[in-house]
Amino acid sequence: MKIGFVSTRFSGTDGVTLEAKKWAEVLEEYGHHCFWFAGELPEREQKGIVAPIAHFHDSRNLWINSQIFGRKKSSSKVICEIHKQKAVLKTYLEKFVKLFEIDLLLVQNALSIPMNVPLGVALMEFIAETGISTIAHHHDFCWERSRFLKNGVKDLIDSSFPPNLPNISHIVINSDAQLDLMQRKSIASTIVPNVFNFEKQLRIDKARCQAFREALGLTPKDRLFLQPTRVIERKGIKHAIELVKAIDPIGCKLVISHSAGDEGLEHLNWLKRYASSLNVELVLADNIVSDTPSEIDGNRMFSLWEAYQAADFVTLPSIYEGFGNALLEAIYFKKPIMINRYKIYVRDIAPKGFNLVEMNGKITKTVVRNVKQLLGDSVCRKNVTNYNYKVARKNYSYKILRKILPQIVSGCINHSRISPACA
């Protein structure tokens, strides 16, 4: 089959992009062909269409968002603009489906959270009008983000994020989302957790790890505490700063791998001030971490995987996560981890039996003591990380996708009316 992945962007190291690549990898193992539609694609990706207005950072979309969120009503001008952009996006989608003879759309979060309202509305209408078989993969929902709750286009958001259509099969990544989707929308869904390729053997390039540390200005004696997330408030980065302060603010450096900007720069600026007040060195690595490691004009770019390999400890103090891709990544690279007991972790992940340093909303003496033990005892650290790897391989490896995805794809096609455009 020819499967069309659709989202606001497929580029970089965000969770939606990484998970979509994993799905595509497994689907192609089964002989399917994957194509891509988004506001941004990697430069090397040839099998797809870039529609700039589909990106949530597009200037027209940013203006729309500024006019609808945080307000009870929206002007006729902004409503007209939404429908204008929707019409253009539907034309793009029609071109995409026709050009690549798409049999099945696989929408990644663009029908889940209203980062780009015109795209969601365009998808809803296109899917309804053509009857094309569709899988909607939901990573998080609009009701899980406070900034989307008050808006001036409630009808549009309620009908499109997500839409309840007979030719859409819905996939969620945790049990809370499954329950919420049924209670709020009367939509049944299948849980497919995030995964990682634990069957693939880890290869460590020590020279690249050393080069990464040197590029950040770290000495061989410095301990690298990696915060492998975007810079947004719900990631709880303030707790990582407090942990480094409690461990050793001189010999430990807190490195943040991802960029700020998805939700503005205000929180980043606050974190900088907070770290400075605690004499903790906060190192921003997003300018040298890329999904395409390279060397351009003497400037080295490193992969996120190389950042993990170079780390001594990984901090994951998130207040909320839909799942937590970074947890699986850190376990794969056999790193000791501190994690906050966010709701989905407690309900879906912790029962699998991982051995992690857990915090419960704050850095305590016990948390600090447990982190110090892992840092100081190499035998204990090796035993813990190897154990966590085995647990993750059992519960979150590609074999989960290989078992579930063929069933989902087959069921979606069998129960949907095939569009004439896709026949």
| CB neighbour burial string for 202-223, b if at least 16 within 10 angstroms, e if fewer | eeeeeebbebbbebbebeeebb
Residue 320 counted as domain residue: yes
Q: Are residues 182 and 301 in the same domain?
A: no
Tell me the pLDDT band of 302, cut-offs 50, 70 and 90: very high
Q: How far is the C-alpha of 214 from the C-alpha of 317, rounded, in Å?
A: 26
> Average pLDDT in the 199-211 region?
88
In this structure, the answer to whether residues 7 and 154 fall within a common structural domain is yes
Per-residue pLDDT tens over the stretch 327-364:
999 999 999 999 999 999 999 999 999 999 999 999 99
Q: What is the predicted pLDDT for the residue at 205?
A: 86
Domain contains 201 = no
Q: Do 263 and 176 fall into the same domain?
A: no
Q: 46 and 114 in one domain?
A: yes
Q: Are residues 184 and 262 in the same domain?
A: no
106 Cα distance to chain centroid: 16
What CA–CA distance (Å, rounded) separates 33 from 415?
A: 21
Residue 109 maps to a domain: yes
- pLDDT for residue 145: 87
Asked if residue 331 and residue 222 are part of one domain, the reply reads yes
Per-residue model confidence (pLDDT) at position 300:
80
Q: Taking 70 as the threshold, does the pLDDT of residue 421 lie above it?
A: no
Terminal Cα distance for the chain, rounded: 11
In a domain, 411, yes or no: yes
**How would you class 239 by CB atoms within 10 Å of its CB: exposed for 0-12, middle for 13-18, buried for 19 or more?**
buried
- Give pLDDT, residue 276: 96
* Angular region, 161: left φ>0, alpha ψ -120 to 50, beta rest: beta
Residue 293, pLDDT score = 64
360 belongs to a structural domain: yes
- Residues spanned by the domain of 175: 2-195+398-422
The Cβ of residue 186 has, within 10 Å, a number of other Cβ atoms equal to 8
Least confident of 201-210, 278-287, 315-324: 201-210
- The CATH number of residue 312's host domain is 3.40.50.2000
Cα–Cα nearest to 314, from 244, 387, 222: 244
| Counted domains in the chain | 2
pLDDT digits (tens, 9 = 90+) for 379-409: 999 999 999 999 999 999 999 999 999 999 9
Question: In a 3-state reduction of DSSP, which class is residue 31?
Answer: coil
Backbone angles phi, psi at 299, to 5 degrees: -95, 120
The answer to whether residues 279 and 304 belong to one domain is yes
Starting at the earlier edge strand, list the strands of the sheet with 33-38: 48-50, 33-38, 2-6, 104-108, 133-138, 168-172, 190-191
pLDDT at 203 over 90: no
pLDDT band of residue 373 (cuts 50, 70, 90) is very high
Query: Which pTM was predicted?
Result: 0.87
Determine the pLDDT at residue 299.
63
Residues 175-187 have pLDDT tens digits of 999 999 999 999 9
Q: Is the pLDDT of residue 322 over 50?
A: yes
Is residue 415's pLDDT more than 80?
no
**In the numeric block, which tokens belong to residue 375?**
């840092």
* 40 and 179 housed in the same domain: yes
370: phi then psi, degrees, rounded to nearest 5: -70, -35
Average pLDDT over residues 269-289: 94
For residues 43 and 173, state if they share a domain.
yes
Q: Do 83 and 187 fall into the same domain?
A: yes
Whether residues 410 and 351 share a domain: the answer is: no
Within a domain: 326? yes
What is the residue-averaged pLDDT of the chain? 92
Q: Is residue 200 assigned to a domain? A: no
Closest among 416, 371, 423, 356 to 135, alpha carbons compared = 416
Asked if residue 387 belongs to a domain, the reply is yes
Q: Are 259 and 14 in contact (CB under 8 A)?
A: no
CA distances from 66 to 72, 234, 359 (A): 13, 21, 36
Q: Does 261 have pLDDT greater than 80? A: no
CB of 115 closer than 8 Å to CB of 263: no
Residues 215, 356: one domain? yes
